[in-house]
A and B are shown apart, each in its own frame.
Chain A
Amino acid sequence: MLEQVAKGRTAFGARGIIEALPAKADGTLDEAAVDDTLIGAHLELQRLSSEFRQGPRLRETLAPIFASLRAAGSKTLRLIDLGCGVGYALRWLAAHRALPDDVELIGADFNPALLGLARAAAEAEGLPVRFVEADALKVAAEAPSGAVVISTGAIHHFRGESLARLLETTSRSAAACVHVDIKPSWVAPMGAWLFHQARMRVPLARHDGLVSALRAHTARTLLDAARAAAPAWSFGVLDGRVGLLPIVRIMHSLVGVRAELAGDVEARMGRLARRLWPSGGLSS
Protein backbone atom coordinates (compact mmCIF):
# COMPACT_ATOMS: atom_id res chain seq x y z
CA MET A 1 0.00 0.00 0.00
CA LEU A 2 2.77 2.42 0.95
CA GLU A 3 4.55 1.69 -2.30
CA GLN A 4 1.39 2.48 -4.24
CA VAL A 5 1.03 5.79 -2.44
CA ALA A 6 4.68 6.65 -3.01
CA LYS A 7 4.33 6.02 -6.74
CA GLY A 8 1.06 7.86 -7.10
CA ARG A 9 0.30 11.55 -7.32
CA THR A 10 -0.77 13.16 -4.07
CA ALA A 11 -1.72 16.72 -3.24
CA PHE A 12 -0.49 19.10 -0.54
CA GLY A 13 1.80 16.67 1.26
CA ALA A 14 -0.63 13.76 1.48
CA ARG A 15 2.14 11.32 0.62
CA GLY A 16 4.26 12.53 3.52
CA ILE A 17 1.36 12.13 5.94
CA ILE A 18 0.78 8.53 4.88
CA GLU A 19 4.48 7.68 4.81
CA ALA A 20 4.82 8.97 8.36
CA LEU A 21 2.28 6.45 9.63
CA PRO A 22 3.77 3.27 11.06
CA ALA A 23 3.63 0.24 8.79
CA LYS A 24 3.49 -3.43 9.67
CA ALA A 25 5.98 -6.02 8.43
CA ASP A 26 3.75 -6.92 5.49
CA GLY A 27 3.80 -3.34 4.20
CA THR A 28 0.27 -2.44 5.22
CA LEU A 29 -0.50 0.44 7.54
CA ASP A 30 -0.73 -0.19 11.25
CA GLU A 31 -4.49 -0.05 11.92
CA ALA A 32 -4.10 1.16 15.50
CA ALA A 33 -1.92 4.07 14.38
CA VAL A 34 -4.37 4.97 11.62
CA ASP A 35 -7.27 4.90 14.10
CA ASP A 36 -5.33 7.05 16.55
CA THR A 37 -4.51 9.57 13.82
CA LEU A 38 -8.12 9.69 12.68
CA ILE A 39 -9.40 10.21 16.22
CA GLY A 40 -6.81 12.95 16.79
CA ALA A 41 -7.82 14.71 13.59
CA HIS A 42 -11.53 14.44 14.42
CA LEU A 43 -11.03 15.85 17.89
CA GLU A 44 -9.28 18.83 16.36
CA LEU A 45 -12.20 19.20 13.97
CA GLN A 46 -14.50 19.05 16.99
CA ARG A 47 -12.64 22.03 18.43
CA LEU A 48 -13.13 23.92 15.18
CA SER A 49 -16.82 23.05 15.13
CA SER A 50 -17.10 24.38 18.65
CA GLU A 51 -15.33 27.63 17.78
CA PHE A 52 -17.50 28.13 14.74
CA ARG A 53 -20.63 27.50 16.78
CA GLN A 54 -21.89 24.57 14.73
CA GLY A 55 -24.15 23.44 17.55
CA PRO A 56 -26.21 26.63 17.88
CA ARG A 57 -26.34 27.01 14.11
CA LEU A 58 -27.71 23.49 13.72
CA ARG A 59 -30.20 24.05 16.51
CA GLU A 60 -31.70 27.13 14.86
CA THR A 61 -32.17 25.21 11.61
CA LEU A 62 -33.35 21.90 13.05
CA ALA A 63 -35.80 23.13 15.69
CA PRO A 64 -38.29 24.55 13.14
CA ILE A 65 -37.97 21.46 10.95
CA PHE A 66 -38.85 19.10 13.80
CA ALA A 67 -41.66 21.38 14.95
CA SER A 68 -43.07 21.23 11.44
CA LEU A 69 -42.72 17.43 11.25
CA ARG A 70 -44.51 17.10 14.56
CA ALA A 71 -47.31 19.39 13.37
CA ALA A 72 -47.62 17.27 10.23
CA GLY A 73 -48.29 14.24 12.40
CA SER A 74 -44.97 12.37 12.31
CA LYS A 75 -44.89 10.02 15.26
CA THR A 76 -41.26 8.93 15.24
CA LEU A 77 -38.86 11.85 15.10
CA ARG A 78 -35.28 11.00 14.31
CA LEU A 79 -32.15 12.98 13.61
CA ILE A 80 -29.53 10.95 11.80
CA ASP A 81 -26.00 12.27 11.40
CA LEU A 82 -24.44 10.88 8.24
CA GLY A 83 -20.70 10.31 8.66
CA CYS A 84 -20.93 11.41 12.28
CA GLY A 85 -17.27 10.77 13.14
CA VAL A 86 -16.85 11.30 16.89
CA GLY A 87 -20.44 12.54 17.02
CA TYR A 88 -19.82 16.13 18.07
CA ALA A 89 -22.95 17.60 16.47
CA LEU A 90 -25.35 15.13 18.07
CA ARG A 91 -23.59 15.15 21.42
CA TRP A 92 -23.72 18.95 21.48
CA LEU A 93 -27.43 18.94 20.66
CA ALA A 94 -28.06 16.37 23.39
CA ALA A 95 -25.90 18.12 26.00
CA HIS A 96 -27.73 21.40 25.41
CA ARG A 97 -31.16 19.76 25.10
CA ALA A 98 -31.43 21.70 21.88
CA LEU A 99 -34.23 19.55 20.47
CA PRO A 100 -37.33 18.07 22.11
CA ASP A 101 -36.61 14.98 24.23
CA ASP A 102 -38.57 12.68 21.95
CA VAL A 103 -36.28 13.34 18.97
CA GLU A 104 -34.09 10.27 18.71
CA LEU A 105 -30.46 11.15 17.99
CA ILE A 106 -28.55 8.60 15.91
CA GLY A 107 -25.02 8.93 14.58
CA ALA A 108 -24.02 6.70 11.68
CA ASP A 109 -20.52 6.09 10.42
CA PHE A 110 -18.48 3.22 9.04
CA ASN A 111 -15.38 3.77 11.14
CA PRO A 112 -15.50 1.65 14.33
CA ALA A 113 -12.71 3.60 16.04
CA LEU A 114 -14.50 6.95 15.67
CA LEU A 115 -17.79 5.37 16.71
CA GLY A 116 -16.08 3.84 19.74
CA LEU A 117 -14.96 7.24 20.97
CA ALA A 118 -18.35 8.78 20.15
CA ARG A 119 -20.12 6.11 22.22
CA ALA A 120 -17.68 6.39 25.11
CA ALA A 121 -18.00 10.20 25.13
CA ALA A 122 -21.80 10.05 25.08
CA GLU A 123 -21.83 7.48 27.86
CA ALA A 124 -19.35 9.45 29.98
CA GLU A 125 -21.63 12.47 29.89
CA GLY A 126 -24.89 10.56 30.06
CA LEU A 127 -26.09 11.82 26.69
CA PRO A 128 -29.01 10.09 24.96
CA VAL A 129 -27.32 9.55 21.59
CA ARG A 130 -27.01 6.24 19.77
CA PHE A 131 -24.11 5.55 17.43
CA VAL A 132 -24.36 2.82 14.83
CA GLU A 133 -22.01 1.34 12.27
CA ALA A 134 -24.46 1.57 9.42
CA ASP A 135 -25.64 3.43 6.34
CA ALA A 136 -27.34 6.58 7.65
CA LEU A 137 -29.91 6.53 4.89
CA LYS A 138 -30.98 2.98 5.71
CA VAL A 139 -31.47 4.07 9.33
CA ALA A 140 -33.55 7.01 8.12
CA ALA A 141 -35.62 4.76 5.86
CA GLU A 142 -36.91 2.85 8.92
CA ALA A 143 -39.17 5.83 9.71
CA PRO A 144 -38.92 8.21 6.78
CA SER A 145 -41.81 10.54 7.64
CA GLY A 146 -40.06 11.85 10.75
CA ALA A 147 -36.42 11.44 9.78
CA VAL A 148 -34.03 14.32 9.25
CA VAL A 149 -30.59 13.55 7.82
CA ILE A 150 -27.72 15.88 8.60
CA SER A 151 -24.02 15.97 7.89
CA THR A 152 -21.28 18.37 8.91
CA GLY A 153 -18.25 18.75 6.70
CA ALA A 154 -19.02 15.59 4.78
CA ILE A 155 -21.00 16.45 1.67
CA HIS A 156 -17.96 17.61 -0.34
CA HIS A 157 -16.82 13.97 -0.29
CA PHE A 158 -19.79 13.19 -2.52
CA ARG A 159 -19.23 14.41 -6.04
CA GLY A 160 -21.03 14.08 -9.37
CA GLU A 161 -22.98 10.85 -9.51
CA SER A 162 -22.47 10.01 -5.85
CA LEU A 163 -23.81 13.42 -4.78
CA ALA A 164 -26.89 12.92 -6.95
CA ARG A 165 -27.37 9.41 -5.58
CA LEU A 166 -27.03 10.61 -1.98
CA LEU A 167 -29.64 13.33 -2.45
CA GLU A 168 -31.99 11.12 -4.39
CA THR A 169 -31.81 8.35 -1.75
CA THR A 170 -32.27 10.94 1.00
CA SER A 171 -35.47 12.14 -0.64
CA ARG A 172 -36.85 8.59 -0.47
CA SER A 173 -35.54 7.81 3.04
CA ALA A 174 -36.22 10.97 5.02
CA ALA A 175 -38.44 14.03 5.34
CA ALA A 176 -35.72 16.66 5.49
CA CYS A 177 -31.97 17.16 5.31
CA VAL A 178 -29.42 19.71 6.45
CA HIS A 179 -25.91 19.32 5.06
CA VAL A 180 -23.43 21.78 6.57
CA ASP A 181 -20.11 22.35 4.83
CA ILE A 182 -17.43 24.93 4.12
CA LYS A 183 -18.65 27.74 1.88
CA PRO A 184 -16.34 28.18 -1.11
CA SER A 185 -15.16 31.74 -1.63
CA TRP A 186 -12.04 33.59 -2.69
CA VAL A 187 -10.93 33.76 0.90
CA ALA A 188 -11.76 30.15 1.91
CA PRO A 189 -8.56 28.33 0.79
CA MET A 190 -6.23 30.96 2.26
CA GLY A 191 -8.32 31.22 5.41
CA ALA A 192 -8.53 27.46 5.80
CA TRP A 193 -4.78 27.10 5.40
CA LEU A 194 -4.02 29.86 7.88
CA PHE A 195 -6.57 28.66 10.37
CA HIS A 196 -5.55 25.05 10.26
CA GLN A 197 -1.89 26.01 10.65
CA ALA A 198 -2.81 28.03 13.74
CA ARG A 199 -5.25 25.59 15.27
CA MET A 200 -4.37 22.06 14.21
CA ARG A 201 -1.49 19.88 15.33
CA VAL A 202 -2.31 16.65 13.48
CA PRO A 203 -0.88 16.89 9.93
CA LEU A 204 -3.86 14.97 8.56
CA ALA A 205 -6.24 17.58 10.01
CA ARG A 206 -4.21 20.44 8.51
CA HIS A 207 -4.20 18.72 5.14
CA ASP A 208 -7.90 17.92 5.29
CA GLY A 209 -8.81 21.51 6.16
CA LEU A 210 -7.18 22.96 3.08
CA VAL A 211 -8.31 20.21 0.71
CA SER A 212 -11.88 20.44 2.02
CA ALA A 213 -11.94 24.19 1.37
CA LEU A 214 -10.75 23.56 -2.18
CA ARG A 215 -13.21 20.73 -2.80
CA ALA A 216 -16.27 22.28 -1.14
CA HIS A 217 -19.33 22.54 -3.36
CA THR A 218 -20.68 25.95 -4.29
CA ALA A 219 -24.26 26.76 -3.31
CA ARG A 220 -25.18 26.58 -6.99
CA THR A 221 -23.73 23.07 -7.37
CA LEU A 222 -25.54 21.84 -4.27
CA LEU A 223 -28.82 23.40 -5.27
CA ASP A 224 -28.72 22.16 -8.85
CA ALA A 225 -27.81 18.64 -7.76
CA ALA A 226 -30.53 18.64 -5.11
CA ARG A 227 -33.25 19.91 -7.41
CA ALA A 228 -32.36 17.39 -10.10
CA ALA A 229 -32.16 14.49 -7.66
CA ALA A 230 -35.24 15.29 -5.57
CA PRO A 231 -37.87 17.18 -7.57
CA ALA A 232 -40.52 16.54 -4.90
CA TRP A 233 -38.53 18.46 -2.31
CA SER A 234 -37.92 22.15 -1.72
CA PHE A 235 -34.40 23.39 -1.12
CA GLY A 236 -32.42 26.45 -0.15
CA VAL A 237 -28.83 27.02 0.86
CA LEU A 238 -28.62 28.72 4.23
CA ASP A 239 -25.94 31.44 4.07
CA GLY A 240 -25.32 30.43 0.47
CA ARG A 241 -24.74 34.01 -0.63
CA VAL A 242 -21.06 34.85 -0.90
CA GLY A 243 -20.48 38.49 0.01
CA LEU A 244 -17.45 40.64 -0.69
CA LEU A 245 -15.70 39.60 2.50
CA PRO A 246 -17.03 36.15 3.38
CA ILE A 247 -15.44 35.72 6.78
CA VAL A 248 -18.43 35.93 9.11
CA ARG A 249 -20.41 32.99 7.79
CA ILE A 250 -17.79 30.63 6.48
CA MET A 251 -20.12 27.63 6.35
CA HIS A 252 -23.29 27.12 4.36
CA SER A 253 -25.98 24.46 4.65
CA LEU A 254 -28.07 22.75 2.04
CA VAL A 255 -31.52 22.65 3.64
CA GLY A 256 -34.12 20.42 2.04
CA VAL A 257 -37.63 19.38 3.04
CA ARG A 258 -40.50 17.59 1.40
CA ALA A 259 -42.29 20.21 -0.68
CA GLU A 260 -45.52 20.01 1.33
CA LEU A 261 -43.61 21.02 4.47
CA ALA A 262 -41.73 23.92 2.90
CA GLY A 263 -44.19 26.71 3.72
CA ASP A 264 -44.58 25.67 7.35
CA VAL A 265 -40.84 25.20 7.89
CA GLU A 266 -40.14 28.60 6.36
CA ALA A 267 -42.73 30.24 8.61
CA ARG A 268 -41.25 28.57 11.68
CA MET A 269 -37.74 29.61 10.67
CA GLY A 270 -38.83 33.25 10.79
CA ARG A 271 -36.05 35.69 9.99
CA LEU A 272 -33.60 32.83 9.47
CA ALA A 273 -35.46 31.90 6.28
CA ARG A 274 -34.32 35.16 4.69
CA ARG A 275 -30.78 33.78 4.72
CA LEU A 276 -31.81 30.92 2.44
CA TRP A 277 -30.21 31.34 -0.94
CA PRO A 278 -31.23 32.06 -3.67
CA SER A 279 -34.81 33.17 -3.01
CA GLY A 280 -34.98 33.86 0.72
CA GLY A 281 -36.97 30.69 1.20
CA LEU A 282 -37.24 27.02 0.27
CA SER A 283 -38.13 26.42 -3.35
CA SER A 284 -38.41 23.54 -5.79
Chain B
Amino acid sequence: MNDEVLAFGVGLLVVLDGGFAGYRARAGRFARIRRLGHDLRAVARGGFIGLFTFAIAVSLALALSGGALFDVSSREAAARILWVAGGYAVLVIAAFVPFLTGSPDLRSLTTVVVFGPLTLLRPALIIGACVYAAWGQSGRVMAAVAVGGALVLMQDAVLDRLARREPRL
Protein backbone atom coordinates (compact mmCIF):
# COMPACT_ATOMS: atom_id res chain seq x y z
CA MET B 1 0.00 0.00 0.00
CA ASN B 2 1.55 3.30 -1.02
CA ASP B 3 1.73 6.37 1.19
CA GLU B 4 -1.02 8.31 -0.61
CA VAL B 5 -3.52 5.45 -0.26
CA LEU B 6 -2.56 5.03 3.38
CA ALA B 7 -3.01 8.72 4.16
CA PHE B 8 -6.27 8.88 2.19
CA GLY B 9 -7.58 5.79 3.95
CA VAL B 10 -6.88 7.10 7.44
CA GLY B 11 -8.25 10.51 6.50
CA LEU B 12 -11.42 8.97 5.09
CA LEU B 13 -11.94 6.99 8.29
CA VAL B 14 -11.59 10.12 10.44
CA VAL B 15 -14.02 12.06 8.25
CA LEU B 16 -16.50 9.14 8.26
CA ASP B 17 -16.24 8.85 12.01
CA GLY B 18 -16.88 12.58 12.28
CA GLY B 19 -19.94 12.25 10.05
CA PHE B 20 -21.40 9.49 12.21
CA ALA B 21 -20.55 11.45 15.35
CA GLY B 22 -22.35 14.46 13.88
CA TYR B 23 -25.43 12.36 13.24
CA ARG B 24 -25.34 10.85 16.73
CA ALA B 25 -24.97 14.26 18.35
CA ARG B 26 -28.27 15.45 16.87
CA ALA B 27 -30.13 12.15 17.07
CA GLY B 28 -32.77 12.25 19.78
CA ARG B 29 -32.71 16.05 19.90
CA PHE B 30 -34.91 16.97 16.96
CA ALA B 31 -38.65 16.56 17.12
CA ARG B 32 -39.70 16.63 13.49
CA ILE B 33 -40.72 13.51 11.61
CA ARG B 34 -39.38 14.60 8.24
CA ARG B 35 -35.73 15.03 9.12
CA LEU B 36 -33.61 13.98 6.18
CA GLY B 37 -32.28 17.49 5.52
CA HIS B 38 -31.56 18.00 9.20
CA ASP B 39 -29.75 14.67 9.46
CA LEU B 40 -27.67 15.32 6.34
CA ARG B 41 -26.61 18.70 7.75
CA ALA B 42 -25.63 17.00 11.01
CA VAL B 43 -23.55 14.44 9.10
CA ALA B 44 -21.92 17.19 7.02
CA ARG B 45 -21.00 19.17 10.11
CA GLY B 46 -19.51 16.07 11.73
CA GLY B 47 -17.58 15.29 8.55
CA PHE B 48 -16.20 18.81 8.50
CA ILE B 49 -15.07 18.47 12.12
CA GLY B 50 -13.49 15.13 11.14
CA LEU B 51 -11.65 16.77 8.28
CA PHE B 52 -10.41 19.48 10.64
CA THR B 53 -9.29 16.80 13.11
CA PHE B 54 -7.40 14.97 10.37
CA ALA B 55 -5.74 18.20 9.24
CA ILE B 56 -4.52 18.84 12.78
CA ALA B 57 -3.22 15.27 13.08
CA VAL B 58 -1.39 15.50 9.73
CA SER B 59 0.12 18.89 10.67
CA LEU B 60 1.30 17.43 13.94
CA ALA B 61 2.82 14.38 12.24
CA LEU B 62 4.61 16.62 9.73
CA ALA B 63 5.90 18.91 12.47
CA LEU B 64 7.20 16.00 14.52
CA SER B 65 8.89 14.33 11.56
CA GLY B 66 10.42 17.46 10.09
CA GLY B 67 8.40 17.38 6.87
CA ALA B 68 8.06 13.71 5.89
CA LEU B 69 4.56 12.30 6.57
CA PHE B 70 5.61 8.67 6.72
CA ASP B 71 8.68 6.74 7.73
CA VAL B 72 8.87 2.98 8.37
CA SER B 73 7.47 3.31 11.90
CA SER B 74 4.60 5.71 11.13
CA ARG B 75 3.70 3.79 7.98
CA GLU B 76 3.24 0.63 10.01
CA ALA B 77 1.20 2.51 12.61
CA ALA B 78 -1.08 3.99 9.96
CA ALA B 79 -1.55 0.58 8.33
CA ARG B 80 -2.55 -0.94 11.67
CA ILE B 81 -5.09 1.82 12.28
CA LEU B 82 -6.46 1.28 8.82
CA TRP B 83 -6.95 -2.44 9.40
CA VAL B 84 -8.65 -2.13 12.78
CA ALA B 85 -10.75 1.01 12.25
CA GLY B 86 -11.33 0.12 8.60
CA GLY B 87 -12.79 -3.25 9.59
CA TYR B 88 -15.10 -1.50 12.04
CA ALA B 89 -16.15 1.03 9.39
CA VAL B 90 -16.85 -1.69 6.81
CA LEU B 91 -19.05 -3.49 9.34
CA VAL B 92 -21.01 -0.33 10.13
CA ILE B 93 -21.45 0.65 6.48
CA ALA B 94 -22.43 -2.89 5.46
CA ALA B 95 -25.14 -2.83 8.16
CA PHE B 96 -26.79 0.07 6.36
CA VAL B 97 -27.79 -2.25 3.51
CA PRO B 98 -30.31 -4.25 5.59
CA PHE B 99 -31.15 -1.16 7.65
CA LEU B 100 -32.15 0.92 4.64
CA THR B 101 -33.68 -1.78 2.48
CA GLY B 102 -35.00 -4.43 4.87
CA SER B 103 -38.32 -5.12 6.51
CA PRO B 104 -39.14 -3.46 9.85
CA ASP B 105 -37.97 -6.66 11.56
CA LEU B 106 -34.63 -6.65 9.76
CA ARG B 107 -34.15 -2.97 10.46
CA SER B 108 -34.84 -3.49 14.15
CA LEU B 109 -32.47 -6.46 14.22
CA THR B 110 -29.72 -4.40 12.60
CA THR B 111 -30.20 -1.71 15.21
CA VAL B 112 -30.16 -4.17 18.10
CA VAL B 113 -27.34 -6.41 16.92
CA VAL B 114 -25.06 -4.02 15.02
CA PHE B 115 -25.58 -0.30 15.52
CA GLY B 116 -26.29 -0.28 19.27
CA PRO B 117 -23.37 -2.48 20.37
CA LEU B 118 -20.93 -0.95 17.88
CA THR B 119 -21.73 2.56 19.11
CA LEU B 120 -21.06 1.42 22.65
CA LEU B 121 -17.78 -0.24 21.58
CA ARG B 122 -16.49 2.69 19.55
CA PRO B 123 -14.44 4.52 22.23
CA ALA B 124 -12.80 1.25 23.30
CA LEU B 125 -12.10 0.37 19.68
CA ILE B 126 -10.45 3.75 19.01
CA ILE B 127 -8.27 3.38 22.10
CA GLY B 128 -7.47 -0.23 21.17
CA ALA B 129 -6.58 0.74 17.60
CA CYS B 130 -4.28 3.49 18.85
CA VAL B 131 -2.54 1.20 21.35
CA TYR B 132 -2.07 -1.45 18.66
CA ALA B 133 -0.83 1.16 16.17
CA ALA B 134 1.64 2.73 18.60
CA TRP B 135 2.92 -0.55 20.03
CA GLY B 136 6.69 -0.87 19.44
CA GLN B 137 6.89 2.31 17.35
CA SER B 138 9.14 5.32 17.85
CA GLY B 139 8.34 7.92 20.50
CA ARG B 140 7.40 10.41 17.79
CA VAL B 141 4.85 8.04 16.30
CA MET B 142 3.48 7.12 19.72
CA ALA B 143 2.93 10.81 20.47
CA ALA B 144 1.25 11.45 17.11
CA VAL B 145 -1.04 8.43 17.47
CA ALA B 146 -1.96 9.38 21.04
CA VAL B 147 -2.82 12.95 20.09
CA GLY B 148 -4.66 11.82 16.95
CA GLY B 149 -6.71 9.28 18.92
CA ALA B 150 -7.55 11.84 21.59
CA LEU B 151 -8.67 14.32 18.93
CA VAL B 152 -10.96 11.71 17.34
CA LEU B 153 -12.48 10.93 20.72
CA MET B 154 -12.92 14.65 21.41
CA GLN B 155 -14.99 15.05 18.25
CA ASP B 156 -17.96 13.65 20.12
CA ALA B 157 -17.72 16.20 22.89
CA VAL B 158 -17.33 19.09 20.45
CA LEU B 159 -20.25 17.97 18.31
CA ASP B 160 -22.36 17.30 21.40
CA ARG B 161 -21.83 20.87 22.60
CA LEU B 162 -22.76 22.25 19.20
CA ALA B 163 -25.81 19.98 18.89
CA ARG B 164 -27.12 20.95 22.32
CA ARG B 165 -27.47 24.58 21.26
CA GLU B 166 -29.66 23.85 18.26
CA PRO B 167 -33.45 24.10 18.37
CA ARG B 168 -35.67 21.06 18.86
CA LEU B 169 -37.85 21.94 15.90
Contact = CB atoms under 8 A, between A and B. Distances in A.
A197 B117 CA distance: 10
B113 A47 contact: no
A194 B120 contact: yes
Can you list the 8 inter-chain pairs with the closest CB atoms, starting with the nearest? A53-B104, A47-B28, A44-B28, A198-B120, A95-B33, A121-B31, A198-B119, A51-B111
A46 B104 contact: no
A121 B109 contact: no
Nearest to B105: A248
Interface residues of A, number: 36
Contacts of A120: 31, 169
A250 B108 contact: yes
A197 B119 CA distance: 10
Interface in B28-67: 28-34
Contacts, number: 75
Contact of B104 (A57, A91, A124, A195): A57
Interface of B: 27-34, 104-105, 107-109, 111-113, 115-117, 119-120, 160, 168-169
Contacts of A191: 112
Given A194-B120, A199-B116, A248-B105, A92 B33 contact: yes
Contacts of A195: 112, 116
B116 A198 contact: yes
Interface string A190-212: 01001101111100000000000
A78 to B, nearest CB: 20
Interface of A: 39-40, 43-44, 46-48, 51-53, 56-57, 86, 88, 91-92, 95-96, 117, 120-121, 124-125, 127, 191, 194-195, 197-201, 247-250
Query: Chain A interface secondary structure, helix, strand, loop or mixed?
Result: helix
A39 B28 CA distance: 10
Given A39-B168, A52-B111, A248-B108, A117 B31 contact: yes
A88 B33 CA distance: 8
B116 A43 contact: no
Contact of A124 (B28, B105, B111, B169): B169
Contacts of B33: 88, 91-92, 95-96, 121, 125, 127
Contacts of B32: 121, 124-125
Given A51-B107, A198-B116, A199-B119, 15 more contacts: A40-B29, A43-B29, A51-B108, A53-B108, A56-B104, A95-B33, A117-B169, A121-B32, A121-B33, A124-B32, A194-B120, A195-B112, A201-B160, A247-B109, A250-B112
Contacts of A194: 116-117, 120
A93 to B, nearest CB: 9
Contacts of A198: 116-117, 119-120
A97 to B, nearest CB: 12
Given A57-B104, A194-B116, A197-B120, A46 B109 contact: no
A75 B84 CA distance: 61
Nearest to A120: B169
A56 B34 CA distance: 15
B124 to A, nearest CB: 12
Contacts of A247: 109, 112-113
Contacts of A125: 32-34
